[in-house]
Structure 1
Amino acid sequence: MVAMSTPTSHAKTITRDDVARMAGVSSAVVSYVVNGGPRAVSPGNEAKVRQAIRALGYRPNAAARALALGSSEMLAMIIPDAMNPFFASLSRAVENAAAERGYTLLLADSQASLRTERRLVKNFASRRVDGLFLWSELSDPDLMDFEQADIPVVLLNHSTDLATSGSPAILKHGAGDPGANSVGVAFRDGARLAVEHLIGHGHERIGLVMGTNPGGDVDSREVGWRQGIQDAGLTAGPIIRVPFTREGGYRAGQELLAASDRPTAVFVSSDQQAVALLCALQEGGLRIPEDLAVFAFDGSPESEYTWPRLSTVAQPINDLAHAALEALLAAPGKEPLTHIFPAELVLRTSCGCH
């Protein structure tokens, strides 16, 4: 006769109340310890709660918590190059701003690929994050997945032809603008100011090193470079188009070294390109700024540590991060707005300033 085995009962799921009973505290105190707030817990009670968590093997159920709150408490961010110091600084600033409001940030790198960007957008929409920060390769990206899921999106690199006159501007969206809130810097205005500054140093032939854009849109920095030259009645110098990478900047430096009609100054569309460009130029024996003045765009931390130190158009990273978070968490249903910050010139040795 074969003995019939009786089904074993499932192990009891450890709850927050179990932890509270063992630690001798309230369930709310356990929640504060597990979630890092919103209220402070005394060191003694925190130690008791953590000891009980270890003893019982308690694991918070993130899915249940999200269902109860109606929120995943997670935000997502897509950038085109996680290796770029500017994007690294911006990501950290957004992460810090999100943490202040109780959110965790998930970061993804599209590697400047439209195909990868679209895949990541679909992926984050399906995971039901609470919102998305997107630095897109397109001026008007396809956000249908997020719109259908009713999840807010903030575009981080939206630009405008507005000259901001030294103060931030908030614009209502018009025809052709993206259907999401957006935050950005006056790219065209910043590039124009950089060119005007180089002209003030006596330069009459100013070239451009311009990053390539997979979306095919004309970059506002190129428009601003051209406007500054035209306003002064000068002839534009050569344009070198290379990727927004160190390799691209180094290649641009080599092209400038080999050029028979080399300009006396150059505006570079990103700090990352400019750092490598400086390396190539100095390897080739050029003196900066005596033989070629250089002005870049971004204001990344490494611009302060080049030799010579790099003049740049700075983007206000912390202001961008906080404005983007506020735009993402704004009440739904309002008309989309664009928050544009003014450009700021940071003058150092590479342009001829001392």
Structure 2
Amino acid sequence: MNELHAAPIDVLRSRTSEKWSEYPDDVIPMFVAEADFPLAEPIAAALHAAVDAGDTGYVASRTPLPSAFSAFAVRRWGWDLASARIQTTADVSMGIVELLRRIDVGEGLVLTPPVYPPFFLLAEEAGVSVVEAALSDTGSLDLVAIETAFANGSRAILLCNPHNPHGYPHTHESLSALAELADRYGATVVSDEIHAPLTHSDARFVPYLSVSEASRRTGFALHSASKAWNLAGLKCALLIADDERTNALLEALPIEVAWRTGQFGVIASVAAYTDGEEWLDRALRTIERNRHSLVGRLAGELPSVSVVEPHAGYLAWVDVRSLGLGDEPADTILEHARVALRTGTDFGPGGEGRVRVNLACDPALLDEAIDRIVALVVARGSGDGAETAARS
């Protein structure tokens, strides 16, 4: 199967979304989780048909989306949702806040930094305090730290699975252990699984709610087609529960939670889950090619740089502390190399001296970004830069 080509650069520069409008045209934008691929043809066709029909009203109380997602989940992950309750809302972040407002977090919500920066803001929006249980260097859960937090009174954890920024899909063993801890301490697991469809060919995504009876008793999952098929602006996400107690909580949510769903988001998501897998697999081939290119080039040209190689998603977590680019290396790289990366400190403790790189782009654009960063390090004449200059 062929790789998926990115849209032409002139088309990308004409986009008005954040990635391509935030910075001047001389900057290569690799900071925010938007993809550079053209819209999947089945999705574009479904949206065009909706516009032609004037199908732009409120979202209906019943849509084909739960069935479309359930079928996708069985095909992709072997996840049976026959007994689950699935409802929509505008986006995963909104769904997280609505859940956090209604579950008991006890002495605080456990977060696992370095982690997706809005998690901290969502906790604040929901009015709950945060307890940190840092990840391992590879992205796996520190179950001892999580149990300590539960033992000290925390009663909820916001899980990122696959983890952002590490691109790490948590294992069945780890998720089962987490579920047993949550069950033992009466805690709730809210699992953000937005990157799940982007799991690479050499990895396996395990849905939290699929691992055990304990996971279904203790958990909620949130999914969306927005990340995998680049649909964030269309506003649609799924809230999922699979236990009598958790189903009842979803059923009791205010009707406005579902009504905030975008009509175009539902239409596009149904098309994605029903007819978008070929496009997705082609996109993943390009992302995996870029992943291997990034790891290989940095190993050869900036060998002191450490990359947490992602196995899900299109975001790479890179430790550049050895390059002497200052406390906020992303700022230095933006100013002097004209490449925009996400700064590591946004992700909480453990993000110092790191940057996050977006790999959902044309391989040539990634090469140019790496060229610019290597040239910056060489020009500064320190660390890898001195070694690279000596070899050239």
TM category, shorter: 0.3 to 0.5
Write 1 or 2 for the structure with the bigger share of helix: 2
Bigger relative CO (Cα 8 Å, ≥ 6 apart): 2
Query: Which one has a bigger Cα radius of gyration?
Result: 1
TM-score, with length taken from structure 1? 0.36
